[in-house]
Amino acid sequence: LLGFTVLLLPLFFLVSIDEVDGDVVVPEFDFYVFAMSFQPEFCYEHRGDDYDGCTHPRKMWKSQLTIHGMWPENVDGTWPSSCTDEPLDINGTILPILPELEQYWPNVKSSTKGKHHSQFWSHEWTKHGTCSGLTQKSYFQETLKHFVSTPDMVGQHYGKTLKKAELINAYDGNVALVCQHKRYLSEVRVCLNMVSGVPTSRMPCPAVVLKEDNCGDEISITKFSGVVK
């Protein structure tokens, strides 16, 4: 049994597929890849782009990875993509949960008042969410519900290095660590079981996911160069 830790968000997010209205597609995939991004490294890789979330990042992002996405995938390494042409309902789906998205699933490329601020979530819905079998509200709420807490050692080594084996152990093993240049922590990917598209519990990641791990034995934890809020 994997000692998976999630950050339990308010009961507002505990919504099942049976509690929401709308057409859904039949999910045809085996499990979810749940990807978390380390924003200090993302911002360093895009240091010339002057992204709002990088020049004024939140303090939490120094020690806590944020959601990149929850992606349907198959054990053979294939995955469904863009299964319907249903556009994201910004007013009905995004605005009611915007404060939570800003913190746990942020779009650091745009300011909160920018006209393209919802573009990241629209991309995740169009490419991945439309294949989940879930309605829009349920897809975003279930993703937030399964937010993966980052081990304390990441914040403790902010701007320093740590041992890859120790970080894997802190995540209870069976996790893919993705690094820029095989050294700088960029993403962490775990796998989730699902029933009729609804994510349930953490599962051992298949080999097709684990092979995405490209970090060396020593991992560097990048610091923000901007002013942290």
CB 105 within 8 A of CB 144: yes
- Say how far apart CA 60 and CA 131 lie, in whole Å: 31
Which stretches of 7-80 are assigned E, i.e. beta strand?
A: 31-37, 66-73
- Say how far apart CA 58 and CA 80 lie, in whole Å: 33
CB 104 within 8 A of CB 36: no
Within 13 A of 229's CA, how many CA atoms are on the CB side?
A: 10
Q: Is 172 exposed, middle or buried (0-12, 13-18, 19+ CB in 10 A)?
A: middle
Residue type, 36: M
Residue with tokens 């249903």: 86
- Say how far apart CA 3 and CA 150 lie, in whole Å: 13
Angle between helix axes 136-145 and 119-127 (nearest 10 degrees) is 100
> Is 128 among the residues known to form the active site?
yes
Annotated catalytic residue: which of 41, 73, 117, 124? Answer: 124
Annotated catalytic residue: which of 117, 128, 146, 157? Answer: 128
> What would the two tokens of residue 148 be?
């993966």
Annotated catalytic residue: which of 68, 117, 146, 157? Answer: 68
Active site residues: 68, 124, 128
